[in-house]
């Protein structure tokens, strides 16, 4: 089950890792989505780290955020310039200690890093799905992962953990499969996206729609809607940072030779353009549309209208973490989750980390975050 090479490279920290894949829902046994549409076959790309123990009690399921993927730690090749997106947390001696735990991370359905999504081939037409891909939800992402865990023979996870959209999936796991989750760690997340969050997602989608190359979603094999997707990423990236971080990093610093009507004058402009250009090299515009919509639809207060009632059946112990400068998913939204859990008598620990890093702090605040998670994993299971 474990795909890690025995020899770990010093540069990678964790070591080398291979992406694996699992295909299911082959016709006529397609996967039924929350929308009642069907989808199949479905491939999930995933990676594993560490070794599963004899009774399978050391499994940690890591959930990625909107733009993340299965590559959470290590490197695929020694020459890779950067390790996985949460390498600071996953590996020997780290918070998710791979000498103790067996860590799994899967790229969600609707994604574009190997899992079935809009860029995948539609078996009914022999060409990419594009907008023929059905609407997906956070619930669908979780259910697809449930198929993967069944395939791997894992009946219960020690912990499910994730930040941002990954926190939504962690919360959904604990509600949908209470007997399969012992611990849950939703980080910098919410029980339902606010109007502001939906608004930012919509502006990003409109930027993609306005790109002439988008072509109604049928741009595969042609020019990609790179400009629209880059703008969407720039908008999103602003929401991931705090004002203090932007001031400290950039202030009003000017770029050299920046007096160009079409070029950036300020360093913050140059930074955002760099982030947009980098993003379009690895992400699919249609996946961005579908995944942001899945986040918009996420609402753990439904169907009853009460978060307390919807969380009544959870059995997991929770560690809920927020960040003081996160204005995209502010602390009060985490406290709403904590309050609903406590009203149900659930075991819940809450921590707000004081930081200027904004929403992206779950990818940056390694020391405080690591300490909280390490202690929770150590003592909550006792």
My answer on whether 133 and 207 are in the same domain is no
Residue 103 in domain:
yes
Residue 265 predicted with pLDDT over 70: yes
Residue 15 in domain:
no
Mean pLDDT of the chain: 94
List the Cα angle 87/168/225 in 5-degree steps: 75
Task: Dump the DSSP string for 110-138.
Answer: T-SSSSSSTTSEETTTTEE-GGGSPP--H
My answer on whether 345 and 230 are in the same domain is no
The domain that holds 318 is classified in CATH as: 3.40.50.1820
**The last residue of a domain, from among 264, 294, 324:** 294
16: β partners: 75
Number of domains in the chain: 2
Residue 246 in domain:
yes
| pLDDT confidence of residue 260 | 64
**The last residue of a domain, from among 294, 310, 340:** 294
Residue 9 in domain:
no
My answer on whether 48 and 119 are in the same domain is yes
Contact 71, 47 (CB under 8 A): yes
Residue 163 predicted with pLDDT over 70: yes
Q: CB within 8 A of 18, min separation 6: which ones?
A: 3, 4, 47, 76
How would you class 76 by CB atoms within 10 Å of its CB: exposed for 0-12, middle for 13-18, buried for 19 or more?
middle
Residue 4 in domain:
no
Residue 5 in domain:
no
Residue 132 predicted with pLDDT over 70: yes
Residue 157 predicted with pLDDT over 60: yes
My answer on whether 212 and 276 are in the same domain is yes
State residue 64 phi and psi, 5-degree precision. Answer: -85, 160
**Per-residue pLDDT reduced to its tens digit, 203-254:** 999 999 999 999 999 999 999 999 999 999 999 999 999 999 999 999 999 9
Instruction: Provide the pLDDT confidence category of residue 258 given band limits of 50, 70 and 90.
Output: low
Q: What is the DSSP letter of 90?
A: B
State residue 186 phi and psi, 5-degree precision. Answer: -85, 130
My answer on whether 247 and 123 are in the same domain is no
My answer on whether 189 and 268 are in the same domain is no
Residue 380 predicted with pLDDT over 90: no
**The last residue of a domain, from among 294, 321, 343:** 294
More confident of the two residues 13 and 325: 325
What percent of the chain has a predicted confidence (pLDDT) above 70? 95
Residue 259 predicted with pLDDT over 80: no
Residue 297 predicted with pLDDT over 60: yes
My answer on whether 373 and 287 are in the same domain is no
Determine the Cα–Cα distance for residues 280 and 370; give it in Å rounded to an integer.
31
Residues noted as catalytic: 164, 326, 359
| pLDDT confidence of residue 92 | 95
Residue 1 in domain:
no
**Per-residue pLDDT reduced to its tens digit, 22-69:** 999 999 999 999 999 999 999 999 999 999 999 999 999 999 999 999
My answer on whether 289 and 309 are in the same domain is no
Q: What is the pTM of this model?
A: 0.94
Determine the Cα–Cα distance for residues 229 and 99; give it in Å rounded to an integer.
39
Q: How many residues can be counted in the chain?
A: 382
Residue 7 in domain:
no
Instruction: Provide the pLDDT confidence category of residue 382 given band limits of 50, 70 and 90.
Output: low
The domain that holds 274 is classified in CATH as: 1.10.1740.110
Contact 210, 229 (CB under 8 A): no
My answer on whether 324 and 187 are in the same domain is yes
My answer on whether 235 and 205 are in the same domain is yes
**Per-residue pLDDT reduced to its tens digit, 354-373:** 999 999 999 987 899 999 99
My answer on whether 285 and 310 are in the same domain is no
- What is the domain range of residue 245? 197-294
How would you class 343 by CB atoms within 10 Å of its CB: exposed for 0-12, middle for 13-18, buried for 19 or more?
middle
Expressed in angstroms, the distance from the first to the final Cα of the chain is 27
């Amino acid at each position: 089950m474990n795909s890690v090479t025995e020899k770990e490279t010093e540069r990678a920290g964790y070591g080398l890792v291979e992406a694996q894949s699992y295909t299911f829902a082959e016709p006529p046994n397609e996967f039924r989505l929350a929308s009642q549409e069907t989808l199949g076959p479905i491939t999930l790309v995933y990676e594993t780290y560490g070794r599963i123990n004899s009774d399978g009690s050391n499994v940690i399921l890591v959930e990625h955020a909107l733009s993340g993927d299965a590559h959470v730690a290590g490197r695929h090749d020694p020459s890779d310039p950067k390790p996985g997106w949460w390498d600071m947390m996953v590996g020997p001696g780290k918070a998710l200690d791979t000498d103790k735990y067996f860590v799994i991370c899967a790229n969600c359905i609707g994604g574009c890093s190997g899992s079935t999504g809009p860029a995948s081939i539609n078996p009914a037409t022999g060409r990419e799905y594009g907008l023929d891909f059905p609407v997906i939800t956070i619930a669908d992402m979780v259910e697809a992962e449930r198929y993967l865990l069944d395939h791997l023979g894992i009946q219960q996870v020690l912990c499910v953990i994730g930040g941002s959209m990954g926190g939504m999936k962690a919360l959904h796991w604990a509600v949908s499969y209470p007997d399969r989750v012992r611990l849950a760690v939703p980080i910098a997340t919410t029980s339902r996206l606010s109007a502001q969050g939906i608004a930012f997602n919509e502006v990003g989608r409109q930027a993609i729609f306005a790109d002439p190359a988008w072509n109604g979603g049928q741009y595969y094999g042609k020019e990609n809607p790179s400009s629209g997707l880059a703008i969407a990423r720039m908008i999103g990236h602003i929401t991931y940072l705090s004002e203090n971080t932007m001031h400290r990093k950039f202030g009003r610093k000017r770029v050299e030779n920046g007096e160009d009507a079409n070029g950036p004058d300020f360093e913050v402009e140059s930074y955002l353009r760099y982030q947009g250009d980098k993003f379009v090299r690895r992400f699919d515009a249609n996946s961005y549309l579908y995944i942001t919509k899945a986040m918009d639809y996420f609402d753990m207060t439904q169907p009853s209208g009460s978060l307390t009632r919807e969380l009544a059946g959870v059995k997991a112990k929770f560690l809920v973490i927020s960040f003081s400068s996160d204005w995209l998913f502010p602390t009060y939204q985490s406290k709403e989750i904590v309050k609903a859990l406590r009203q149900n008598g659930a075991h819940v620990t809450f921590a707000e980390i004081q930081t200027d890093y904004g929403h992206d702090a779950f990818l940056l605040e390694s020391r405080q975050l690591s300490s909280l998670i390490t202690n929770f994993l150590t003592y909550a299971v006792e």
